[in-house]
Structure 1
């Protein structure tokens, strides 16, 4: 087991981060992403612990010996919470809390908490609430100490009544049902709006990508909007749509056309399935798009894994076959040796060659090239174009 201690902060809950290497290729040995998630949620990581196991322990996930070491470290550092990078079963979570004598949470709940903090629109809040209720419904016994059987009500002579946990389950079940019904109404409204756009012949483009890839910054650069953008995970949860004007690619003095550009929620590794399900109405913007701008943080050394994660989520929501342009963002943060030789080339995305454009949403470098590439793609897919315009010459360039 490796331990990396960090400086504590008095303003945030001191938390120990735990990661278990089960031999999977995406294991984050430094727990960097979990640390960023924890800080985004208002926690303060005071130590990071990693260990290896062939398989999770059925009772404690990490085994009794490792749990004892974590408890000793938590007591020593005054940590008030333990956070796991993997999803824990309700039984594992409950057993760990009893063994460590402090709250234990997992990556799934952490992401739910962040989504709850970030949601601004009515629909976004409902989506997060549904996912949270679905998560809580399997963990009702986690912190309850009053689960003894109640006595019968008035007019009942003795006999056991309904267990408190049964009441809790029914209340949570009713809340899930009500939230789903309200989301269904909003989903129908979105469908009506999409049909209206289709009748107007609007060409729909959606920005997708890993969280903190700079989608909102690029969105603002393209449409001169003021969407909230920050260097943090899940800065944007609610979909924002604006009109983007593209010039005529065959005649610079000709009249161009406007397309619909939407900024959507970012993806992340091990995105809880409940969130994908709850945000399906929002993510439907990507599935219904005519073209996806897949934004990648070119300065992140893990960007190949992030691209794969985004592709996986796109497949899950039914957007795997939507045409894409890959946008390698944040080139202003690259070392000179990693700067692209050409601003436009092609990229092999799961066996399919797609256009790739290098940009900086912060400095607007490469944005003009991106607009031209968008105009070419829209022209190619919506109207006749000559061979020269329809098949622009591109070259492969190393990142």
Structure 2
């Protein structure tokens, strides 16, 4: 699907909140390489159980796709398997919802074995209830006699068991990788280096900040992390050892960004990656100060931290993209720019103070400290 009509049902959201939801969905489409031809929304008190929209709006949706030469439909709302099937039948176009869109983005961004396994586990967890709902119509029991009973149910049950077995197998492999992570984490603790984790809304500039700190210390570009001006540019956590000043050093980890209403199955699947957050000594929350919705994004980050049981960890607030902000009066965080370098020296001084780092030497970390798995490479930045 290279182009689509962006659709959604507005129920209780305010006009401003709904507009923000649509804008973010459009950015998700862009991150997935889907051009949004037009937007079509309906306001109603409740969802239509068959098609989410009413029949008249479904017909309008079909006409919009035809008029705009769109290849499919992306719904902002979560759809059931039956709703997806009915919408596809009545419009004649493929239909996906926001969760499926995020899964597609994650699948495209996955680069390592761990990321691929996590995405596959999430995809199966997403598919499981929709498979059951979507196949009921095709597997109905035939007749009323006892001998004919259970024909469809057996088929559905078999499909469900197959998917559950696949999920179990994936989790077993992820558990093996998690054991390797535990060994790595133990070595970090033995090093005595403070562990700092970058968190924040997707596309706030976490990876850019890590690269800016690495560049400031003239560290090889090969040790920088991938960054891009798009949602979910980073999936795999990456950790680098960074010298702040003198002998003051820290381990800095980059993690996957958050978005509103991040599905539970994605949080569950990426548990091992997000464990970096739970084990940190300090969380650096990166906020895009140029985004008019930054306060809402901060609230979403905080809600996600509560879901991860990490809200108690000490936090440092970083307002990024100072070069795009004409005036800034807030004093509850540090304003900086990863692009121009403004505020980076102040950040380093703040980290040394916050982490209570002195001019003490940390032990050398050789090959034994480097990750033994490909998904989380630790490198000493000198």
TM-score for the superposition, normalised by structure 1: 0.80
Structure 1 match to 2:247:
256
1:229, distance to aligned residue in structure 2 (A): 0.9
How many residue pairs get matched?
A: 346
Instruction: Within 5 Å, give how 1:148-163 maps onto structure 2.
Output: 163=154
- Aligned counterparts of 2:292 and 2:198: Cα–Cα separation in 1: 21
| Higher fraction of strand | 1
Deviations along 1:66-109, one digit per CA (max 9) or x if unpaired, are 11211121222222211111211222222222222221110000
Question: Within 2, Cα distance between the matches of 1:175 and 1:51?
Answer: 38
Using a 3 Å threshold, how does the CA distance of structure 1 residues 29 and 282 change in structure 2: closer, same or farther? closer
1:23-38 residue pairs with structure 2 within 5 A?
23-24=12-13, 26-28=17-19, 31-38=22-29
Mapped partners of 1:294, 1:382: distance in 2: 26
2:71 touches 2:93 (CA, 8 Å); kept in 1?
Answer: yes
C-alpha deviation, 1:281, in angstroms: 0.8
1:202 aligns with 2:193: yes
**What's the CA shift for 1:147?**
4.6
3-state SS of paired residue (2:12): coil
Q: Deviations over 1:95-124 (max 9, x none)?
A: 222222221110000001100000111111
Equivalent residue in structure 2 for 1:363, among 316, 337, 340 = 340
Q: Distance in 2 between matches of 1:85 and 1:136?
A: 18
Tell me the CA shift for residue 31 of structure 1: 1.8
The alpha-carbon distance between structure 1 residues 62 and 292, as it changes in their structure 2 partners (threshold 3 A), is same
1:86 counterpart = 2:77 = yes
State whether residues 248 and 359 of structure 2, in contact with CA within 8 Å, keep that contact through their aligned partners in structure 1: no
- Residue 265, structure 1, aligned to residue 256, structure 2: yes
The alpha-carbon distance between structure 1 residues 306 and 29, as it changes in their structure 2 partners (threshold 3 A), is: closer
Partner residue of 2:351 out of 368, 374, 377 = 374
Question: Would you say the 8 A contact 2:247–2:359 is kept in 1?
Answer: no
Matches of 1:76 and 1:216 in 2, distance apart?
Answer: 40
- 3-state DSSP class of the match of 2:19? coil
How far apart, CA to CA, are the structure 2 residues paired with 1:90 and 1:309?
A: 27
The residue aligned with 1:116 is 107
* Structure 1 residue 380 displacement after superposition: 7.5
Distance in 2 between residues matched to 1:267 and 1:30, nearest whole Å: 14
Residue 269 of structure 2 is aligned with which of 270, 278, 281?
278
Q: Where in structure 2 are the equivalents of 1:1-399 lying within 5 Å? A: 13-24=2-13, 26-28=17-19, 31-140=22-131, 147=138, 163-224=154-215, 225-247=223-245, 255-334=246-325, 336=326, 338=327, 340=328, 346-347=331-332, 356-379=333-356
Encode CA deviations 1:287-340: one digit per residue, 9 max, x unaligned: 110000000011111111100111111111111111111110011122x3x2x3
Q: 1:49 Cα deviation (Å)? A: 1.4
Name whichever of 215-224 and 190-199 sits farther off: 190-199
Answer yes or no: is the 8 Å Cα contact 2:321–2:338 preserved in 1.
yes
TM-score, length-scaled by structure 2: 0.84
- Kept after mapping to 1: 8 A contact 2:207/2:254: yes
1:129-166 residue CA offsets vs partner (Å, 9 max, x unmatched): 1000111112226777995589xxxxxxx998674433
3-state DSSP class of the match of 1:218? helix
CA distance in 1, matches of 2:120, 2:292: 34
Q: Residue 140 of structure 1: SS of its match in structure 2?
A: helix
Structure 2 SS opposite 1:37: helix
Q: Of Structure 1 and Structure 2, which has the larger fraction of its residues in helix?
A: 2
Partners of 2:140 and 2:53 lie apart in 1 by 33
RMSD: 2.6
User: Is the Cα–Cα contact under 8 Å of residues 212 and 232 in structure 1 kept in the other structure?
Assistant: yes
Change (3 A) 1:227 1:243: same
**Conserved? CA contact 1:357–1:366, under 8 Å:** yes
- Structure 2: segments with no counterpart, 5+ residues: 142-147, 216-222, 361-382
Give the C-alpha shift of residue 54 in structure 1.
1.8
Structure 1 residue aligned with 2:375: none
